[in-house]
């Protein structure tokens, strides 16, 4: 019960359909297991509802809200809904991130570049700017942004994705510094290669290879020899959201099986 009585927003709490659980869904379930009331936000309401059913089956408390993070007024509506339903916002977890359409600098279209930055960077920006006044009034709150180790290590085909996540890291640290005096903490988690539908189903289709083959290929790139799971990201998020991390802010935490510290 590490989040007992806390009110949490998980943005991107549904998931891309596929063989494994996604980062947002696993985090929402874990937060609820640890005692939080969770507002499950997604542009795909049916998918957020699936997460709600999973939580309620375990006896947890959750409710859903449809919003597209690229629309600032909808982000404000998320914040208002959380205050209306739960009375406060203790945790804001920004999980939404996309990479579809990304390419090397000469290949990526302007449309894809703008779309990826809009979702991955402007989305969390909008959520944070509306949630922070509520947290400041409470004199407490935790923000966790889901970044990526792509932010700190170049991959030629991830031009927009990398730029968006690197900027998200910078935004997170700015928020941390600007709000530390208000009792608000802000950190980013940088997942490495995680076995989620977005990564496997999406890329297997794009690369036109078998899913199992992709899982093996990705596993070999990790020093620990296998990909992480969404639960690995969720447990890091739980720690950062809990009072155990009360002196931790401005941190960019890799959850990557050692991948980002390997040279060669």
Ligand X SMILES: NC(=O)c1ccc[n+]([C@@H]2O[C@H](COP(=O)([O-])OP(=O)(O)OC[C@H]3O[C@@H](n4cnc5c(N)ncnc54)[C@H](O)[C@@H]3O)[C@@H](O)[C@H]2O)c1
Interaction between residue 196 and ligand X (CB under 6 A) = yes
Considering only CA atoms, which of 121, 38, 47, 26 is closest in space to residue 78? Answer: 38
Q: Which is nearer to ligand X, 144 or 242 (CB)?
A: 144
Interaction between residue 12 and ligand X (CB under 6 A) = yes
Q: What's the rounded Cα separation, in Å, for the pair 22 and 199?
A: 9
Q: What's the rounded Cα separation, in Å, for the pair 73 and 75?
A: 5
Tokens 């947890």 locate to 60
Q: Which is nearer to ligand X, 42 or 90 (CB)?
A: 42
Query: Shortest approach of ligand X to residue 5 CB, angstroms?
Result: 25
Q: Which of 55, 82, 112, 193 binds ligand X (CB under 6 A)?
A: 193
Q: Is 161 designated active site?
A: yes
Q: 33, exposed or middle or buried, with CB in 10 Å at 0-12, 13-18, 19+? A: middle
Query: Shortest approach of ligand X to residue 146 CB, angstroms?
Result: 4
| Axis-axis angle for helices 123-138, 72-86 (nearest 10) | 30
Candidate list 21, 161, 164, 237, residue with the active-site label: 161
Interaction between residue 24 and ligand X (CB under 6 A) = yes
CA dihedral 242, 246, 249, 254 (to 10 degrees): -50
Interaction between residue 148 and ligand X (CB under 6 A) = yes
Select the span of 28-36, 89-97, 134-142, 205-213 touching ligand X (CB under 6 A): 89-97
Q: 263, exposed or middle or buried, with CB in 10 Å at 0-12, 13-18, 19+? A: exposed
Q: What is the Cα gyration radius of the chain? A: 17
Select the span of 40-48, 102-110, 126-134, 172-180 touching ligand X (CB under 6 A): 40-48
Q: Which is nearer to ligand X, 73 or 106 (CB)?
A: 73
Neighbours of 123 (CB within 10 A): 29
Select the span of 64-72, 107-115, 136-144, 245-253 touching ligand X (CB under 6 A): 64-72
Q: x/- site string to ligand X, residues 156 to 185, per CB under 6 A?
A: ------------------------------
Considering only CA atoms, which of 134, 5, 3, 22 is closest in space to residue 78? Answer: 134
Interaction between residue 199 and ligand X (CB under 6 A) = yes
How far, in Å, are 18, 36, 221 from residue 262 at the CA level?
30, 36, 10
- Binding residues (CB under 6 A) for ligand X: these are 12, 14-16, 22-24, 42-44, 47, 68-70, 95-98, 119, 146, 148, 191, 193-194, 196-199
Q: Which residues are catalytic?
A: 161
């Amino acid at each position: 019960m590490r989040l007992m009585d806390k009110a949490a927003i998980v943005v991107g709490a549904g998931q891309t359909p596929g063989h494994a659980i996604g980062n947002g869904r696993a985090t929402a379930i874990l937060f609820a297991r640890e005692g939080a009331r969770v507002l499950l936000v997604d542009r795909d309401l049916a998918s957020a509802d699936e997460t709600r059913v999973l939580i309620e089956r375990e006896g947890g408390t959750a409710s859903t809200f449809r919003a597209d993070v690229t629309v600032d007024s909808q982000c404000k509506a998320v914040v208002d809904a959380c205050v209306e339903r739960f009375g406060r916002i203790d945790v804001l977890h920004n999980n939404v991130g996309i990479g579809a359409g990304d390419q090397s600098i000469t290949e990526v279209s302007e449309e894809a570049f703008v779309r990826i930055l809009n979702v991955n960077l402007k989305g969390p920006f909008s959520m944070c700017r509306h949630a922070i006044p509520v947290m400041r009034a409470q004199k407490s709150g935790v923000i966790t942004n889901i970044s990526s180790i792509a932010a700190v290590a170049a991959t030629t085909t991830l031009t927009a994705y990398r730029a968006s996540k690197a900027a998200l890291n910078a935004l997170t640290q700015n928020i941390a510094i600007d709000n530390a005096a208000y009792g608000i903490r802000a950190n980013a988690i940088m997942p490495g290669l995680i076995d989620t539908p977005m990564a496997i189903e999406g890329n297997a289709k794009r690369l036109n290879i078998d899913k199992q083959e992709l899982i093996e290929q990705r596993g070999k790139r990790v020093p620990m020899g296998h990909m992480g799971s969404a639960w690995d990201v969720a447990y890091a998020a739980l720690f950062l959201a809990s009072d155990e991390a009360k002196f931790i802010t401005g941190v960019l935490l890799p959850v990557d099986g050692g991948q980002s510290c390997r040279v060669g």
